[in-house]
Amino acid sequence: MELVVATKNKKKLKEIKEILEKLNLKITSLADYPQPPRIIENGRTFKANAIKKAVKIAHFTQKLTLGEDSGLEVDALGGKPGVYSSRFSGKDKNDLKNNLKILRLLEGLPLEKRRAHYYCAVALADKDGLVAVTEGKCSGRIGFALKGKLGFGYDPLFIIPKYKKTFAELGPRIKHQMSHRYKALTKINKILATYQRINPSAD
């Protein structure tokens, strides 16, 4: 069975493939489909954006599709950057600029006031519409400097208190046991397994 992941983000796709590797799925992405429709992520929540991606791309490909939206919410910033996580630093955004903006905004705050969490919503849809939505959350702290070379996004700043290290220092083996994406995809994993049993001939 083919599962289309509604993303062009290679790093995100790699994580999703790693977490779903136990399922017998052929996982493809928007990079495998010429001229996919443009998806404007204008939802007010991660869930709304994930659903929009899944439903729109499932309609386009006529195949089972996974839409995912995730980001960072910082308590001291009133939940920002939230759904704007990937474009927090503006028009010429990139991971480094986004991280540096977070550091500027939190300058002078002690670690106990730098609480944050990663949030992820995953939606599954097929040609007939929405199948399911799952969510995951991972709590941590925002560090004072970028540390680690692994991961992407805000991983070099996101400290897991239990390890006193960032996701970018800990690497995928530990990250995939506790991350927001892992939690949401673990739930969707079960739904996918059921979907495969009910729809054995689905492409």
| Residue positions annotated with a catalytic role | 69
Nearest by Cα to 100 from 165, 148, 146, 164: 146
Sign of the dihedral through C-alpha 147, 149, 155, 159:
negative
Which of the 8 DSSP states describes residue 115? E
CA end-to-end span of the chain: 5
C-alpha torsion sign, points 106, 109, 113, 118: positive
Identify the sign of the CA torsion 161, 165, 168, 172.
Answer: negative
Please tell me whether residue 71 adopts helix, strand or coil conformation.
strand
DSSP for residue 118:
E
Q: Cβ distance 130 to 123 under 8 Å?
A: yes
| C-alpha 169 chain-centroid distance | 19
